[in-house]
Structure 1
């Protein structure tokens, strides 16, 4: 049993290192009106959601993809905006000209950063 837990722990550490290396840097903002959305129209998809900026949109091919998002720092003078948490969000909308890579729901943004920051640096994968 102990050997099995050791192997499982090693696998988890290796996977977290691989995922950490493959993270993509970007920026995030937040929004508050979730329905309707470009991907799912009037379907409610909860609050751990995000909208994709033009470079990610790909004519909606990104709809439904899940991303693990982590705050990495401020883009403005708000000191220490990051909470140290990560959040998994589902892409449900398009945000043309939103000013960030991902436009997170307010709830998702607040999980990883102080909403007063408005826009933050992120890693996502």
Structure 2
């Protein structure tokens, strides 16, 4: 009877453990970089020219910096992005992870930035603030 109860309890708690620790294990494999925000106009892009259908419906898209661009191979790739800190205190929402699609190469004015987020994507992890974010990101 005790063995049965112990086994039942372990089976019931296993999904709970997975839920609690899944974010931790996901970001153990993530890369770290910086993110900034860029504003419209977003067209044309280096990846898809003037095709407006390239943008996801939620407008979570980004331009890739030199380290992510990969000579254009990153076009269309999806990345999970999470803010871990920022130049200004209290602007990061560290509990939110977003998925962005790479549609462009980062403009030269963003030299040294890992990923440049659309206004909508940036706002989802940093509110209405501006500045440089330190982010964790991983290709999906």
Larger radius of gyration: 2
Q: Deviations over 1:12-47 (max 9, x none)?
A: 556433311011111100112222111111122131
* Shift in Å, 1:61: 0.3
**1:110 & 1:55 partners in 2: Cα distance?**
23
- 5+ long unaligned stretches in structure 2: 1-8
Deviations 1:37-89 (A, max 9, x none): 111111221311000001221111011111111111112xx221112322110
Q: CA RMSD in A?
A: 2.2
SS at structure 2 position matched to 1:108: helix
Of 101-110 and 12-21, deviating more is 12-21
Residue aligning to 2:37: 30
TM-score (norm: length of structure 2): 0.74
Runs of 4+ in 1 over 3 A off after TM superposition: 2-17
* 2:71 match: secondary structure: helix
TM-score by length of structure 1 reads: 0.82
C-alpha separation in 2, matches of 1:14 and 1:114: 26
